[in-house]
Amino acid sequence: MITATDISVGYGGKLVIESAGLQAGPGEVVGLIGPNGSGKSTLLRTLYAALKPTAGLVLVDERPVTELRGNELARRIAVVAQETPTELPVSVAEMVLLGRAPHRKALAAMSREDHRAVASALARVGARHLADRRYSTLSGGEKQRVLVARTLAQQAEHLLLDEPTNHLDIRYQHELLRMVGELGTTTVVVLHDLNLAARYCSKLVLLANGGIIAAGTPHQVLAPELLLQVYGIHAQPVLVDGILQLVFSLADEPELQHSGSPVPG
């Protein structure tokens, strides 16, 4: 479980996040949504101690995240960040093997268990055929899949992802998020696509201007009045095969037609 309480984070004397909080329980996928600059990535980075809050507390399984160090932190939390070096002179298999570091002694040879974990992780993201390729030669979408494979090989109990569907085509966006939901880990993910968030997240946290506007189920958070307030766009919720999805329109556009069922009020 990850719990953040009254988190405030600032840069250069300016607050970017103020009094924010969330709770992600075992097996839950919690989506952080909101416009650009709303503080989503800042809040996520605070959860894994890449940023130190000016106020508040982050607990990982009831322990302050700041007390977790080195391999212990890596065994608890796996991270897919937005910025990752792209010119590392390593193969795809070697990149995924980095996820095994918390489970290996320094300078230890790669074990059979490590080989199995790397092969299994690459297979799960559909990238096993890339194992011998140089990581730096991959496309953006291929790199993203490899980074997710690295976190799977890490076998951490908590997974934090910052816009993991960037650079992925639509098929792999859905495959990746479905796979994340099937892992059974405590997961917090930053997403821009609200329909992906509605489909694959069990809970959502909506941020704007460094604060939390709403938190709850997708049905609760993706309310048209909230989305109009935060994004400045009209959203019509519909049910497609029982799944909440949104049809968007600008204020000066005619209402869009759809074939789904309206969400009951």
Identify the pLDDT of residue 46: 95
pLDDT category of residue 195 using cuts at 50, 70 and 90: very high
Pick from 110, 190, 126, 115: nearest CA to 153: 115
Identify the pLDDT of residue 69: 82
Backbone angles phi, psi at 84, to 5 degrees: -135, 135
Amino acid at position 28, single letter: E
pLDDT category of residue 258 using cuts at 50, 70 and 90: low
Contact between 32 and 188 under an 8 Å Cβ cutoff? The reply is yes
50-92: per-residue pLDDT in tens?
999 999 999 999 999 999 888 888 889 999 887 665 667 899 9
CA distance linking residue 52 with residue 1, whole number of Å: 19
pLDDT category of residue 114 using cuts at 50, 70 and 90: confident
Identify the pLDDT of residue 219: 94
CA distance linking residue 85 with residue 185, whole number of Å: 26
Contact between 148 and 160 under an 8 Å Cβ cutoff? The reply is no
* pTM to 2 decimal places: 0.85
User: First CA to last CA across the chain, in angstroms?
Assistant: 32
Identify the pLDDT of residue 11: 82
Q: Which of 14-23, 52-61, 100-109, 139-148 has the lowest mean pLDDT?
A: 100-109
pLDDT category of residue 261 using cuts at 50, 70 and 90: low
Identify the pLDDT of residue 107: 59
Higher pLDDT, 46 or 184: 46
Say yes or no to pLDDT of 256 above 60. no
CA distance linking residue 57 with residue 6, whole number of Å: 7
92-112: per-residue pLDDT in tens?
999 999 888 877 666 566 788
Annotate 107-160 with DSSP letters as a single string: TPPPPHHHHHHHHHHHHHTT-GGGTTSBGGGS-HHHHHHHHHHHHHHHT-SEEE
Kindly list the distances between the CA atom of residue 265 and the CA atoms of 93, 98, 223, in Å, as whole numbers in the listed order.
50, 49, 10
Dihedral sign computed on CA atoms, order 192, 144, 9, 68 = positive
- What residues form DSSP beta bridges with 91? 134
Q: Helix, strand, or coil here: 209?
A: coil
Dihedral sign computed on CA atoms, order 57, 60, 61, 67 = negative
Pick from 141, 148, 95: nearest CA to 125: 148
pLDDT category of residue 251 using cuts at 50, 70 and 90: low
